[in-house]
Structure formats: C-alpha cells, structure tokens
Amino acid sequence: MKNKISDLALFGGKALFDKPIHVGRPNIGNHKKILNEIEKVLDNCWLTNNGPAVQEFEQHISKLLGVKHCIAMCNGTVALEIAIRALELTGEVIVPSFTFIATAHALQWQGITPVFCDINPKTHTIDPECIEKMITPRTSGIIGVHLWGRACNVESLEKIAKKHKLKLMFDAAHSFGCSYKNQMIGNFGEVETFSFHATKFCNTFEGGAVVTNNDELAAKIRLMKNFGFSGYDNVVYIGTNGKMSEVCAEMGLVSLENLNEFISANYENYQLYKKKSGDISGLKMLEYNEKEKNNYQYIVFEVNEAETNISRDKIIKILHAEKILARRYFYPGCHNMEPYKSYYPHSSFLLANTEKVAEKVLILPTGTGVTLNKIDNICKTMSFIIKNGKSISDKIYQL
C-alpha cells in the first residue's frame, strides 16, 4: 500500500500491480465449451453466411430482449451504419457528442451530417431540452445513445421525434441486458443497435446486432447486411457485408450462457467500488438504478477538482504508473475530434455540459478478470491520491 507520496510508482515507488489492469478486459465464458463449439464449426465446414450458430444467436437475443427481430452483424459500427441506411436517414441527424466516435462516424461515413447535441450532466445522455434547438429543415432523425448502459429519456425523445416527424433510433452498444422502465433495451425507437466487441459485457470477439419490432425494416436490414442478395444470383437492394461469422456467434452463445455470472461479478465489483469510494471527497460515482436490469459494465466516476485539488488527468497519470489503466471515455467529445473539429470549430459553444463532463469522467476497471481484492487496492490508492491531492499535483507539475 501507499503510505507516502514517494511510494507512488510515478515518483519511483513499486507499481501496485505487476500486470496492467484494463478497463475493457473481455469476459470469457467456459473455455472448454468455446473450443468445443469452434471445433464443431470446423467439422461442419460452415463458417459464415447466416449459418446455424448465427441463427441460434439471433433467436436467443430476440427471446432475451422480447424483440421480434435480431439481425447479427460483424460489429457495432456496421450495425449502426446499416440501421441508419435502412431508416433512410439523410441530411442532418442529431446525436450526442459525448459518445464513442463510431456513433458520429456511422453517419458521416454515409454523407449525413451529425449535429452534436448537449447532454444532461446528471445522466450523461442526450438532453431532450437541447434537441429542438438543433432541428433544421434538413434534420431527418435523432440517435440517442444509452451511455454506460443507462437508458436515455426515451419518452421525451419519442415525443420530439413524433412532433417533428423525425426518425428515432438508439445506439445501445453499452446496454445489452439492460432495461428501461422494466422493458428490455432493444424495444425502443425504430431500431436499436448493440456491440458485442471484445471489451463489451457480452462479447463475440467482434460483433454487433440490429434489433427491431418492425418486420419490413428487419427484412430490409437482412438484405443490406448480405450485399442485397435475395437468393442466388438475385440482388434486389444496395447492400454491404455486415455478416457475423459462425465462430463469433459460437463465442456469443457461450457468452449468453454465462451472462448471469458476468452480471454477478460486475455487480459485486460495482457494490465494492460504491462502498469504498463513498467517503473519498471530490469523487462521485454514477450510480445504477437498481430497480432496472443493469449489466454494471461501466464504473464511472466524476472528479471534482475543486475538492480533490488534483486534476482528473493527473490522477490518471498516477494510476497508469500503478498499472491501473483507468480511461477518460469519451474525452474530448466527438466535436473535438476530426473531421468534426475542423468542420464545426465553434461547436463548443453549444456543448457546455459535454465539455464539462468530458473533463471530469474517469472509468475504472471491472469485469470477471478484476478481483474484489484488486478493487479494494484500487480504491485505497484513489483515496491516498486524493487525500494528498495538492502535494501530489504540485509534485507532478515539477516533473
């Protein structure tokens, strides 16, 4: 443990951990089962193109979410791109800037302008009160992002979309297995998209899905993810290659079998972080609403520098030296990244909350690979850093 400032690895002490503790370490289900299932794929000699494992994976997800259609994809970004295209979004689409860059890129990639909207600083999700100001005659839709697995204010977004005849969809990349008002995420807007990337709570190595209750849209999305083919030699639509492979689907099926175990591990980790961080002044945890189903995949803190006397970025520097690879998702906001930064150099004026939140968010490691003992040590280190905030901050300044 750290008793004096010189014990910190940044100042020459021994790092707390021998190996890096990552934020997005994959949850991996039963290894033997995964290898077994992959073996079966090889024996079956059916590797991709809507094979039996993909179909089974899609059925499981539909059932779990209570949604009519699930179309598995090769990743969450392509799922977004295809959903956007299937909805025939054009011109401008309103999105939060406080999200992973893929949400914005999926639009820009297709020549659609992402119009960045501010967030509610309490929830970190798009602020419905800001949306109406951003609507122009070119606006065709809204994409809400259920950030950190917490749903947007769905009703308000639905109301605005209806009033202005806009299409509404959700980037639910973080929200697999989560609910909103007791309904599973996946059932809101016209479509919702998931990511099953390695760093996600439930992973398929790389993967994603579009889910919808709209039959017509689902049929269109199925065509789109397979080049627009309808049977051999017959292309009826412009499409791309968005297919999930059999090996990925098998990984997904085993992940689904182990879902409760992943949630329990995340929940225990979350509870311990909550308990141990409670009396660290200047550190505020974003809590989950325990009346809902949550995957507890993101441990999100806000650092209030006025109280900690040390900036979020300096805390991260110290943590990294200790091999705790905390992250500052989604700094600095999409509007401050290219090409958007050059396209809209003055967008900061409309994104005050996004900028404030992006400056103070700190994400800590969780998942099945992080033990309670490690979390205890991470919290003790955080507590030590913040208790000595001013002195440590000054010392870093001198480095």
**Length of the chain as a residue count:** 399
Which span sits near ligand T4K by CB under 6 A: 169-177, 261-269, 308-316, 339-347?
169-177
Q: Which stretch binds ligand T4K (CB under 6 A): 16-24, 85-93, 154-162, 345-353?
A: 16-24
Binding to ligand T4K in span 235-294, by CB under 6 A: none
- Residue 375 interacts with ligand T4K (CB under 6 A): yes or no: no
CB 258 to ligand T4K: min, Å: 17
Q: How far is the CB of 106 from ligand T4K (least distance, A)?
A: 8
Whichever of 13 and 369 has its CB closer to ligand T4K, that residue is: 369
Tell the burial category of 394 from Cβ atoms under 10 Å away from its Cβ (0-12, 13-18, 19+).
Answer: exposed
Query: Which residues 95-114 are close enough to bind ligand T4K by CB under 6 A?
Result: 99-100, 102-103
Q: Give yes or no for residue 173 binding ligand T4K (CB under 6 A).
A: yes
Q: Is 76 in the site for ligand T4K (CB under 6 A)?
A: yes
Distances (CA, A) of 150 to 144, 153, 271: 11, 10, 17
User: CB of residue 66 vs ligand T4K: minimum separation in angstroms?
Assistant: 22
Q: Are 27 and 297 in contact (CB under 8 A)?
A: no
Answer for which of 77, 226, 277, 295 binds ligand T4K (CB under 6 A) is: 77
Closest residue to ligand T4K, judged by C-beta, is 76
Counting contacts by CB under 6 A, is residue 26 touching ligand T4K?
A: yes
Q: Is there binding between residue 208 and ligand T4K (CB under 6 A)?
A: yes
175 binding ligand T4K? (CB under 6 A): no
**Is 145 a binder of ligand T4K (CB under 6 A)?**
yes
How many residues form the binding site for ligand T4K (CB under 6 A)? 23
Q: Are 117 and 134 in contact (CB under 8 A)?
A: yes
> Is residue 22 close enough to count as binding ligand T4K by CB under 6 A?
yes
Which stretch in 21-29, 88-96, 254-262, 349-357 sits in contact with ligand T4K by CB under 6 A?
A: 21-29
Considering only 199, 214, 309, 383, the residue that binds ligand T4K (CB under 6 A) is 199
For ligand T4K, the binding residue among 197, 276, 335, 360 (CB under 6 A) is 197
3-state SS, the chain, equals CCCCHHHCHHHCCCCCCCCCEECCCCCCCCHHHHHHHHHHHHHHCCCCCCCHHHHHHHHHHHHHHCCCEEEEECCHHHHHHHHHHHCCCCCEEEEECCCCHHHHHHHHCCCCEEEEECECCCCCCECHHHHHHHCCCCEEEEEEECHHHCCCCHHHHHHHHHHCCCEEEEECCCCCCCEECCEECCCCCCEEEEECCCCCCCCCCCCEEEEECCHHHHHHHHHHCECCECCCCCECCCCCECCCCHHHHHHHHHHHHCHHHHHHHHHHHHHHHHHHHCCCCCEEECCCCCCCCCCCCCEEEEECHHHHCCCHHHHHHHHHHCCEECECCCCCCHHHCCCHHHHCCCHHHHCHHHHHHHHHEEEECCCCCCCHHHHHHHHHHHHHHHHCHHHHHHHHHHC
In the bound state with ligand T4K, the residue whose beta carbon lies nearer, of 77 and 336, is: 77
The answer to the question of residue 171 lying near ligand T4K (CB under 6 A) is yes
Q: Is 211 in the site for ligand T4K (CB under 6 A)?
A: no
Stretch that binds ligand T4K, among 34-42, 191-199, 303-311, 355-363 (CB under 6 A): 191-199
Task: Give the interface segment with ligand T4K, choosing from 190-198, 230-238, 286-294, 308-316 (CB under 6 A).
Answer: 190-198
The residues that touch ligand T4K, with contacts defined as CB under 6 A, are 22-26, 75-77, 99-100, 102-103, 145, 171, 173-174, 195, 197-199, 208, 325, 329
